[in-house]
């Protein structure tokens, strides 16, 4: 890997800035996209540690009944903590990764990554920080699923993924159900209720908000 490429990567992932130039010859930067075949799914034994340089990968679980839920997304400057836990624990990967957009991924062979973890403190700190951030995020997700009603969760998703200038979302009912970990029928029924209340309008694959204040009021009911 040439110095300019290493510089670009470490600008995005400063935790790797102390890695010696010699050690970089083990690493590989690859371009991937939604159509790129891969085996990063539940039960897979990982051969590489992966760091996102740019792009977005959705990490999700699929239940025995076939229901899917998004756990989190890994974007530029981040890593998948479930992957790191699998590698460090020498165990199978416990989720599935879906590449959402054209992305760049830094690949480091598992054995080399473990050596780097031993030798480079900034990398260790980064991985542990990622663990804490993701644990908090997934804990909040579980709390939402267990304790908060679907109308709050749907309102919160629509509110946080739009703003005063961006009032339309290009998303299907099925995709929304995956994001929120519920059935498509539940989402369709709730969106219809929101439409009847004048909060939004629906068209094929699109949701346009007409009353963001009403969404905020729904959210505040469960935060007060």
The reported pLDDT for the residue numbered 15 is 97
* Among 101, 83, 104, residue whose Cα is nearest residue 40: 83
Tell me the DSSP string of 152-193: HHHHHHHHHT--SS--EEE--HHHHHHHHTS-HHHHHHHHHH
The answer to whether the Cα torsion of 84, 86, 92, 94 is positive or negative is negative
What is the bridge-based pairing of β-strands 68-75 and 200-203?
Answer: unpaired
The reported pLDDT for the residue numbered 224 is 62
The reported pLDDT for the residue numbered 87 is 96
Domain boundaries, the chain: 3-146, 148-221
For residue range 61-114, list pLDDT tens digits in order.
988 777 888 999 999 999 999 999 999 999 999 999 999 999 999 999 999 999
Q: What is the pTM of this model?
A: 0.81
CA 7 to CA 215: how far, in whole Å?
Answer: 44
CATH superfamily name and code, 3-146: Jelly Rolls (2.60.120.10)
Show the DSSP H helices in 33-149 as ranges: 81-88, 110-119, 121-147
Instruction: Determine the angle formed by the axes of helices 173-180 and 150-160, rounding to 10 degrees.
Output: 110
Q: Could you confirm whether domain 148-221 is CATH 1.10.10.10?
A: yes
The low-confidence residues of the chain, meaning pLDDT below 50, are none
């Amino acid at each position: 890997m040439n110095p300019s490429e290493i510089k670009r990567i470490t600008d995005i992932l400063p935790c790797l800035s102390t890695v010696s130039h010699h050690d970089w010859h083990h690493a590989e930067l690859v371009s991937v996209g939604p159509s790129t075949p891969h085996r990063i799914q539940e039960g897979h034994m990982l051969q590489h540690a992966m760091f996102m340089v740019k792009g977005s990968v959705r990490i999700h679980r699929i239940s025995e009944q076939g229901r899917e839920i998004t756990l989190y997304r890994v974007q530029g400057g981040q890593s998948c903590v479930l992957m790191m836990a699998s590698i460090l624990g020498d165990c199978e990967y416990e989720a599935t990764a879906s590449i959402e957009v054209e992305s760049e991924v830094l690949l480091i062979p598992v054995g080399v990554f473990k050596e780097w973890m031993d030798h480079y403190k900034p990398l260790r700190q980064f991985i542990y920080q990622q663990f804490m951030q993701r644990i908090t995020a997934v804990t909040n997700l579980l709390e939402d699923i267990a304790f908060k009603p679907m109308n709050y969760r749907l309102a919160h998703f629509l509110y946080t993924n739009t703003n005063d200038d961006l009032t339309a979302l290009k998303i299907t009912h099925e995709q929304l159900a995956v994001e929120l970990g519920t059935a498509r029928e539940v989402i369709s029924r709730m969106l219809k209720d929101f439409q009847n209340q004048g909060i939004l309008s629906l068209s094929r694959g699109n949701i346009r908000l007409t009353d963001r204040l009403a969404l905020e009021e729904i959210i505040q009911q469960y935060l007060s």
